[in-house]
Amino acid sequence: MLDISAIDFVMGVLRSFFGYFIDILLRLPGVVIAVSVHGFAQALIATAFGDKGPKKAKKLTLDPITHTDPIGFLSLLLFRFGWAYPVSVNTRDKKYPMLMRFLAIFAGPLSNLLLAFIGCLMLIPLSIPQVIAFFNSHTALVWTYGVINTTIQSFCIINANMAIFNMIPLPPLDGFRLLSVFIPRHAYKNLMRYESHFSLGFMIILLVDYYFFGYIGDAFLKITSFILNDCFASLINFIFF
């Protein structure tokens, strides 16, 4: 005789795995765009200040491969927070070196916040009753609506998370690089000597928290929810409604 309970268990696992795979697939566009625009924005601002390094390093592009840090990309795809490959900023012989460095680094997280806001704008048509009624008119359209809506929402969350996460002052994040603007140069260089140790320790903490505690994830959820549902939603209502 067939063990029905065992079959149900296996089918449940398969459905869960398939659902998780679809979720990852729907996150992919948001991850690719978030990483590409983040790196491009930093390269663009550095170039605007006269730094020729990003152009020589072929960072002045929206090509995601150029800006992808494999671990950061995977983290962004799986956990919805991660980082792009850092754009080197050369402030030597520049008129306003600290301002240049600050704006070039901060341009990355700022671009992700802008993308998250654009994503919120893209959700407006999907909330119109006539649009919802149209998609509800056929089973295939209902599925299409779900895919579009989920993809855009993931896009918003991923970009908001990336902006917030990258402001943490730990390597390899932008927040750590911003320390060079606010602390003495020798102190920053001393910290850079232990960058790999900080990075490894940080990743271990993130993984342990994600699988066993969830404190960091909950904190990000609250901050992201505040940005998307309170700040951006209020701004959109003020502008358009």
Instruction: List the structure tokens of 94.
Output: 């520049």
Flag whether pLDDT at 192 surpasses 80. no
* Phi-psi sector, 80: left (phi>0), alpha (psi -120 to 50), beta: left
Name, in order, each residue with C-beta under 8 angstroms of 146's C-beta and a sequence gap of 6 or more: none
Tens of pLDDT, residue by residue over 95-125, are 888 899 999 999 999 999 999 999 999 999 9
Cα–Cα distance, 168 to 81 (Å, whole number) = 12
The confidence score (pLDDT) of residue 111 equals 97
Percent with pLDDT over 90 in the chain:
39
Tens of pLDDT, residue by residue over 73-85, are 888 888 888 889 8
Tens of pLDDT, residue by residue over 2-21, are 444 444 544 455 567 677 78
Structural domain including 115 reads 4-240
* DSSP class of 226: I
Angle between helices 139-165 and 4-48 (to 10 degrees): 50
What b/e readout covers 155-187, taking b as 16+ CB neighbours within 10 angstroms?
Answer: bbbbbbbbbbbbeeeebbbbbbbbebbeeeeee
Cα–Cα distance, 63 to 138 (Å, whole number) = 37
The confidence score (pLDDT) of residue 7 equals 43
Please provide the size of the chain in residues: 241
> Average per-residue pLDDT in the chain?
85
Q: Are 47 and 88 in contact (CB under 8 A)?
A: no
Cα–Cα distance, 79 to 69 (Å, whole number) = 15
Report the pLDDT averaged over residues 162-172: 89
Question: What are the start-end ranges of the H helices in the chain?
Answer: 4-48, 53-56, 64-67, 70-79, 97-123, 129-135, 139-165, 174-182, 185-192, 195-208, 215-225, 233-240
Report the pLDDT averaged over residues 16-37: 88
Flag whether pLDDT at 24 surpasses 60. yes
Weakest-pLDDT range from 90-99, 119-128, 170-179, 193-202: 193-202
Cα–Cα distance, 67 to 187 (Å, whole number) = 28
Residue 103: Cβ within 10 Å count: 18
Domain count, the chain: 1
The residue assigned the tokens 């901050």 is 223
